[in-house]
Amino acid sequence: MGLILGLGLEGTLWRLWLLSGQRSKMAQELLDLRQEKLRLENRIKLAQSPEFLAREALQRFDLVSKDQLVFVFSLDDGND
């Protein structure tokens, strides 16, 4: 009887130890998610300005504004 009780208690202690490790891991994940949420909320606030939208469009689609110059260079070495 003592052996069975000892093994049951040992299994419980093992599960408690595992749960403790999972708790600290989940606490870190929660902290990371909260930080990511704040970062995204700030990005949303920025995205509401027309200047931000124009800058993003220019960068993402390799566009230029009407007052910028574009230089095009050829990779041709001239040996035609």
First to last CA, the chain: 94
Please report the beta strands in the chain, taking only residues with DSSP state E, as ranges in sequence order: none
pLDDT digits (tens, 9 = 90+) for 27-76: 999 999 999 999 999 999 998 999 888 888 888 888 887 888 888 888 87
Residue 64 neighbours by CB under 8 Å, 6+ apart: 58, 70
Residues 53/47, Cβ–Cβ less than 8 Å: yes
Query: Phi/psi at 63 (nearest 5 deg)?
Result: -95, 165
What's the CA dihedral at 45, 47, 49, 55 to 10 degrees? 140
Distance of alpha carbon 61 from alpha carbon 48, whole angstroms: 19
pTM: 0.52
